[in-house]
Structure 1
Amino acid sequence: MTNAPAGVWLITPGHTPARFTRAHTAGADVALVDLEDSVPVAAKPEARTSARGFFTQPDTPASCTLGIRINAPTTREAVKDLAALADYPVPPAIVLIPKTETPRDLEVVAAALESPGHRPLLYGLIETPQAIQNLPEIVRSSHLSGLLFGTADYARSIGSSRAWEPMLYARSALVTHAAAAGIPVIDSPYFDLDDQDGLRTESLRVRDLGFRGKSCVHPRQVASVAAVFRPTPAQIARARAIVAAAEDAAGGIVRIGHQMIGPPMVQEARDLLDRTPTHVITADGAP
């Protein structure tokens, strides 16, 4: 698996700079400033200007990676976004590309933003049937660092609701192709801000399906998503014990407590430790 950021993503509108500090300090692993859907057309020039400050805020936690969602690459707004981004004093670490449908979408953004001193991590936002059909080609792009699912546009495009069953095929396809490419896939936001139980249920379902994180549209959602996707001290300790037992046994089947642990479970433990940030691993007080 790649070390590209996963976990909890928080998306904040680019034309609301008063919310930027809260976005940085809400506890998300990735904070994105948005130039697309959450910004009215008339406010997009203001958002491009305000978003410069998103990347120069003081006291941003080192554990929070900052990024931006541009407009869809086939639109005139995206051309303006890319031109503005090229002049930002501090470039975004992540660029989320809406309506990604072909590798060409990634190539266009990479050509505009990559420089000898900076190569942003490009994430493709998958939200159309065409994108699902083209996933085998999209994930082979050398510019791609990860995927994010957008249920709102996908459901609209196929004429369904955003309920679990209609979205299951697309989610399964995303997980399968992302895993084959060794990249993380992040789930869509949960749009009912007052339904914390529903948010937790959906977070558990997508985690168990293979998603490596979930995006949020409000800081109040961050804690619930983090509780699902961040390993607990007990899970970290167990993963360490599994890896240590396997190393002592030089491979093969090992026993921990009442459970027999084979190579797939050992690799699962290693994967958990590899994708868990150091500040989370050390938070359990273990050496």
Structure 2
Amino acid sequence: MQPPLNRANSAPPAAAGPSGPTWLVTPGIAPARFDTAIGSGAEVVLLDLEDSVPTGSKADARAAVLAFAGAPTPGADGPLLGVRINAVDSAEGPRDLAAMGEGSLWPDLVVVPKVESSREIEAVVQAVRRAQVATKVWALIESPRGIVSLSGIVHTPALAGVLFGAADYAAAAGCQLTSRAMWYPRAQLVTAAAAAGIPAVDSPFFSLDDQDGLRSAALEAVELGFTGKVAVHPHQLSVIAKAFAPSPRELEAARAVLAAAAAAANAGGAITTADGVMVGPPLVDAALAVVRRAGHRPTVTTTSVTKVS
């Protein structure tokens, strides 16, 4: 877990890379749900000022979200607090940023929706820098134009990560909101994010009563290389967390790879085998990633392998 939220912003908030794979989005127009979201166990709680808020309720939602962001936080560890603002080229997006700046009520992270170029990100980064806060800026990619412009978007200075918006993408592309239809844009997003060295978080699964479908979608997100997935209801969080955690078999195999690599390194070699599979630097990196997902602290590199604590 990250250090406690500092919603009063008397000092810069903690670094806002997600501490785990579970994100929970909550409508900004429903302040009665905010405390429940904070206590849900999600690593990132994202209060939404955009799609879930009707046009006539934007001001009320903004006031509720920023009042919550500025409230003192009791207790110790807690999730990161994020806010999805309105699009920066809309009337409401600049108002969201202005209100944050005027009240010095900056969350741990700001999610910028409908990003199709670096320009939208740069505008928010500049606002954060003027405020001299440690708020991280994330881009929500949810259109075909955003996907084809990824190479410019992901390398925007100070961009902390990207999220995928499947529903808006499907509407814009004229395709169905199915797993197969989303393979291409999701793979493109993960590839671009990996090339830029930033995390990518997958779109929500919208069928609230389909736990098997959620499990399948979350496992697919892991397979594609996403670092997390957004939930739209707290009861989805445990399924997502379990999907992103390595299975006992995966963890055992990863430890076998690291042990074999350590033995090879101690013997002066770089290549060895584990359970009949050749082990070299790429497989060691993959094993390290599995161990990290399990919450352990590997003390190994591909050139100098020692042990896993």
- TM-score, normalised via structure 2 length: 0.82
Instruction: Give CA-to-partner distance per residue, 1:91-129, whole Å, 9 cap, x none.
Output: 211111000110010110111122474232111100111
Q: How far apart are the structure 1 equivalents of 2:32 and 2:76?
A: 18
Q: How far apart are the structure 2 equivalents of 1:229 and 1:61?
A: 25
Aligned to 1:261: 279
Q: Match of 1:226, SS?
A: helix
Alignment partner of 1:52 is 2:70: no
Kindly tell me the number of residue pairs found equivalent between the two proteins. Answer: 280
1:22 to 36, 43, 49: 36
Higher relative contact order (CA 8 A, sep 6+): 1
Q: How far apart are the structure 1 equivalents of 2:248 and 2:82?
A: 28
Aligned to 2:110: 95
* One-letter amino acid matched to 1:4: G
1:166 to 153, 171, 181: 181
* One-letter amino acid matched to 1:267: D
Contact 1:33/1:54, CA 8 A, preserved across alignment: no
* One-letter amino acid matched to 2:117: T
1:209 to 214, 224, 249: 224
1:271 to 272, 289, 296: 289
Alignment partner of 1:144 is 2:162: no
Q: How far apart are the structure 1 equivalents of 2:157 and 2:182?
A: 27
The 3 A distance-change label for structure 1 pair 223 and 109 is same
Alignment partner of 1:4 is 2:17: yes
* One-letter amino acid matched to 1:77: E
Alignment partner of 1:131 is 2:131: no
Q: How far apart are the structure 1 equivalents of 2:87 and 2:98?
A: 14
RMSD: 2.5
Structure 1 vs Structure 2: percent identity of aligned residues? Answer: 43
1:228 to 215, 222, 243: 243
Contact 2:161/2:193, CA 8 A, preserved across alignment: yes
* One-letter amino acid matched to 2:134: R
Aligned to 1:219: 234
Following TM superposition, by how much is the alpha carbon of 1:185 offset from its aligned partner in structure 2, in angstroms?
0.8
Q: How far apart are the structure 1 equivalents of 2:75 and 2:167?
A: 30
- TM-score, normalised via structure 1 length: 0.88
Instruction: Give CA-to-partner distance per residue, 1:11-48, whole Å, 9 cap, x none.
Output: 01112111111111211111111100111112111111
Contact 1:187/1:215, CA 8 A, preserved across alignment: yes
Structure 1 segments unaligned to the other structure (5+ residues): none
The 3 A distance-change label for structure 1 pair 61 and 47 is farther
Aligned to 1:191: 206
* One-letter amino acid matched to 1:204: L
